[in-house]
Amino acid sequence: MRITAKAGQQLLDVDIERRDGSYRVEVDGVRYEVDALKLEGAFFSILTEGRSYEVSVEAKGDTYHVRHGAAELLVTLSDPSRQAREAGEGGEGAENIVSMMPGKVVRVMIAEGDEVEEGQGLVVVEAMKMENEIAATRAGKVGTINVEPGQTVEGGAVLMVIE
């Protein structure tokens, strides 16, 4: 799955590939093998290049507050192909809600036919051992829901449609 990450003021191209419980992560052309383990609450243990890091990650939509020791970084993730699709829609017609990366559906927070507001949480997908709430980018009516809790999804998978 290819995404763009804004970490502080730095814009990074990130490619993530899930591999039997670990991840191959390429950041601006530099490849890393990463093991990530969720500890308690918002804490994670990350092992890469023979070094271990304990970090806390607090998610709010596509934005994350990442803390390691006294350092704190605001990270925003975006899917460039999704941005291009949304720019072409102009707020009209149906909108596909997609998963930014591979993961497992933890919770579906709405039902078909529900009216939703912009910013309202729709579905929670666990990816890279973090729970990510995917929110509506505009108000509308929930059309088809293509996923259920426990289901594994690929990056770019259409989770549901907002009409």
3-state secondary structure of 88: helix
41 DSSP assignment: T
Tell me if the pTM is above 0.85. Answer: no
- What are the pLDDT digits (tens) for 14-38? 888 887 778 898 998 899 999 988 8
Give the helix, strand, coil percentages of the chain, each rounded to 5. 5, 60, 35
- What are the pLDDT digits (tens) for 80-127? 544 444 444 444 568 888 887 788 999 999 999 999 998 899 999 887
Single-letter code of the amino acid located at 51:
R
**Which pLDDT score, from 0 to 100, does residue 79 have?**
62
Q: Which two tokens stand for residue 39?
A: 């500890």
Decide if pLDDT at 43 tops 50. yes
Question: What domains are there in the chain, each with its CATH number?
Answer: 2-78 (3.30.700.30), 93-162 (2.40.50.100)
Greater confidence, 142 or 77? 142
